[in-house]
Structure 1
Amino acid sequence: MTLVDGFDPSGVRVGIVGLGGIGHHHAERLESLGADLVGGMDVDAGARERFVHEFDAHAFEDAGELYDMVDAVLLTTPNRFHEEYAVSALEWGLDVLLEKPLAHTLESAERIADAAREADGICMVGFNNRFAAPVEVLKHYQGEGRFGDVRHVEANYVRRRGVPGRGSWFTTKDVSGGGSLIDIGVHAIDLALYFLDFPDVVEVSGVARSEFGGRDDYTYIDMWGDDSGPEDFDVDDSVSAFIRTADGATVSLEAAWATNRPENNDFFVRGTEAGAHFDRGSGDLTLFENGVGGGHHLTDTDVDTRDIDTHRAEQAAFLQAVETGEAPTRNTVEQALTVQRVIDGIYRCTETGRAVRLDE
């Protein structure tokens, strides 16, 4: 028996919908937690066979057969299919952990949110960076008032070269809903708004660009997945944006699959009393403070934390919510819907060349 925060997750029967790479990633962590991984579902026969071989669990082509055997499901399908499986699982009475983003379009995301509001079960969305140990510490200090009022967050999720396999669903807009913005920019937006305690967003301004993935001479060292060439790339590969909230707080965003600059995973949290720097890549956390005791001075404090598997911690929070029946206050569907509205606003801003109001 594995105890997680004082409870035994083996009593929760879990299934996974979508048995690709991220599905296997989640399955491995569910097993490490001691959860009862009953089975999985995928439309691809090869994916089902690999899942059965690796995890000694059932695998189905029909989602309903899986739903009948479980208490909760993790949904790890390509974005376009989130709505189909999330809504059906919620209507079945199951609890759902849905990988980010909420959906491939805002309209689809809103339908998932509607289903979640009507459902008896809980629904969480997979923004795993919130569970990083430095983020937990930063939020603890923020809750104590150490930063004062947080007024601005600089959010970066930038790869120098990191376009997923050209020709995969990641680079196909009809399935993914977009490129770097909806794939990794979504994490940066969510984490920035989390540091601001999710205020109402009133305006976004930005540009999503496609400058590298569609080129014959796109240069890279490694590529996740196969490269089918530029003909199979119709999404953005970088984005710059500015987000303004109802209480005057702001977010500046840089995200990229590919750009001619060094990799950057820095988040700067700027408060009226103190600030912080979190490097999402390395996990480094530094606090920036000041004082007058003994003379005016500035203090930089490096914070060491344990190395946490963020997906495993996220799953533990989900399983505990399933076990207790208490809806989580973190990683909620409503928060994910706010992130989706920001993404949609940036894409609309790119098309019109004008800032987009989200409060009208």
Structure 2
Amino acid sequence: MIGTGIGVGIVGLGGMGNLHARSVSELGAEVVAGADLVEQQRRRFATEYGATTYETHEGLVVDDAVDAVIVTTPNRFHEPIAVDALEAGCHVLVEKPLAHTLESAERIARTAAAADGICMVGFHNRHAASMALFDEQHARGRFGDLTHIEANYVRRRGVPGPGSWFTDPELAGGGSLLDIGVHALDLALYTLDFPEISEVSGVARTTFGTEEEYADPDGFGENWDAESETYEVDDSVSAFIRCANGETISLEAAWATNREESMAFRVRGTEAGAQFDIGDTNLDILEAGTAGCDHYANVALTGDSSLTGYEAQDEQFLATIAAETTPETNTIEEALIVQRVIDAIYRSSETGRATQLAEVDLEAEHRARIN
């Protein structure tokens, strides 16, 4: 199996940590270590995987059995864990986003550039069946030149709740944009092959987090108490991104807003368009033609429902380690570009003006910074 002989340590043993642990185990890797501040989590993890557990990551990254580290902690702690793991010679997979701030993300990137191990970032929706279908059709030229992407990750009511790390700007770095909007943004930039970006405009809103009468029909935020904790992060963001070659991206991200929920991802091309839900299995292709008479053609492609983005992403991580090559996807350079655009959206919201990035090749600038 692809992960045979690779010892994996998980830092952060909550839901995401366990998801990755199960995934890499099924791919043949051995989960040898775990770290979490919560003793109960450590005990459960040790029992399930027979793994050595640590209260903090410092002991885990120097454990001789650990070849690769997967980081699933709150955003603020991505940097110290990833940096220590890379400096210890481990391979690293960091859950999205790369970090809680652009400066922190850049420090991880500099460390990764000098490290022997690889560093990848957890944007699993690139590997979902819907995106795999799109990539193949796009490679065949079916869509022509891509012109615009509408990217949505919108909950009608889905604020994690005051008191969680998600709503603490010191731990998360931001709200709905850094939590769920980052998925839609990364997928849009990935679809356009990370084009040069000229201008970013955005508005971040904090509307619902302080409401005592916040309606939460699904109980997403559990015990809501608007006065118990501070809430200083965005619960919705609207953004528009112009690329140097004319492509554009419109982004809607929300934990809560008075509209229908949506994870719709729509791609416009000169020859055809595509639409699917982020992370979903199926892909719809929208075309028009003149054969016989002028007509519309809607083609539905049904993907393999057993293909999950998380499993495919973890497989890429383990395969890259096994082959001793550099990553071809989910690279730290790409994640740094995503982080820069997020930073630009927040800066645009603060200033009330578009953030100009004209004539800046973000990937080349990144290489110049870390070399």
Give the shorter-chain TM-score range. over 0.9
Please state whether the residue corresponding to 2:198 is helix, strand or coil. strand
Given that residues 208 and 239 in structure 1 are in contact (C-alpha distance below 8 angstroms), is that contact kept between their aligned partners in structure 2? Answer: yes
Q: Which runs of 4+ in 1 moved over 6 A?
A: none
Q: Distance in 1 between matches of 2:26 and 2:155?
A: 30
Q: Quick one: distance in 1 between partners of 2:337 and 2:226?
A: 32
Match of 1:330 in 2: 329
Q: Say if 2:32 and 2:50, in contact at 8 Å, map to a contact too.
A: no
Q: How many Å separate the matches in 2 of 1:281 and 1:317?
A: 17
CA distance in 1, matches of 2:113, 2:36: 26
- After superposition, the C-alpha distances for 1:218-242 in whole angstroms (9 at most, x for unaligned) are 1102344643522422211001110
Q: What are the superposed Cα offsets for residues 129-156 of structure 1, whole Å, 9 maximum, x if unpaired?
A: 0010110110111111111110100000
Choose 208-217 or 229-238, whichever is displaced more.
229-238
User: How far is 1:28 from its partner?
Assistant: 1.9
Contact 1:155/1:266, CA 8 A, preserved across alignment:
yes
Q: Higher mean Cα deviation, 20-29 or 246-255?
A: 20-29
Task: Determine the structure 1 residue equivalent to 2:153.
Answer: 157
**2:235/2:256 contact within 8 Å kept:** yes
- Decide which moves more: 228-237 or 94-103: 228-237
Q: Unaligned 5+ residue runs, structure 2? A: 361-371
* 5+ residue gaps, structure 1: none
AA in 1 matched with 2:321: V
Deviates more, 1:74-83 or 1:44-53: 44-53
Deviates more, 1:55-64 or 1:266-275: 55-64
Query: Are the equivalent residues in 2 in contact too, given 1:267–1:280 (CA < 8 A)?
Result: yes
Count of residue pairs the alignment pairs up:
354
TM (norm. structure 1) is 0.95
* Structure 2 residue matching 1:299: 3-state secondary structure: strand
Q: 1:62 & 1:338 partners in 2: Cα distance? A: 29
Is structure 2 residue 268 aligned with structure 1 residue 235? no
Name the residue aligned to 1:50. Answer: 44
Which shows bigger deviation, 204-213 or 277-286? 277-286
Q: How far did 1:99 drift?
A: 0.2
> Using the alignment, how far apart are the partners of 2:165 and 2:44 within structure 1?
20
Tell whether 2:315 aligns with 1:321.
no
Q: How does 1:76-155 map to 2 (within 5 A)?
A: 76-155=72-151
- The aligned runs of 1:1-360 (5 Å cut-off) are 3=1, 8-67=2-61, 68=63, 69-224=65-220, 226-227=222-223, 229-231=225-227, 232=229, 233-280=231-278, 282-307=280-305, 308-359=307-358
CA-CA distance at 1:128 after TM superposition: 0.4
% identity of equivalent residues? 55
**Aligned partners of 2:279 and 2:190: how far apart in 1?**
18
1:18-44 Cα distance to aligned partner (Å, 9 max, x none): 112211121122222231110111233
Change in 2 beyond 3 A, CA 1:314/1:86: same
Secondary structure at 1:230 match in 2: coil
Q: Distance in 1 between matches of 2:279 and 2:329?
A: 22
SS in 2 for 1:11: coil
The two structures, once aligned, show a CA RMSD in angstroms of 1.5
- Contact 2:129–2:282 (8 Å) recurs in 1: no
- For 1:200, the aligned partner's letter is E
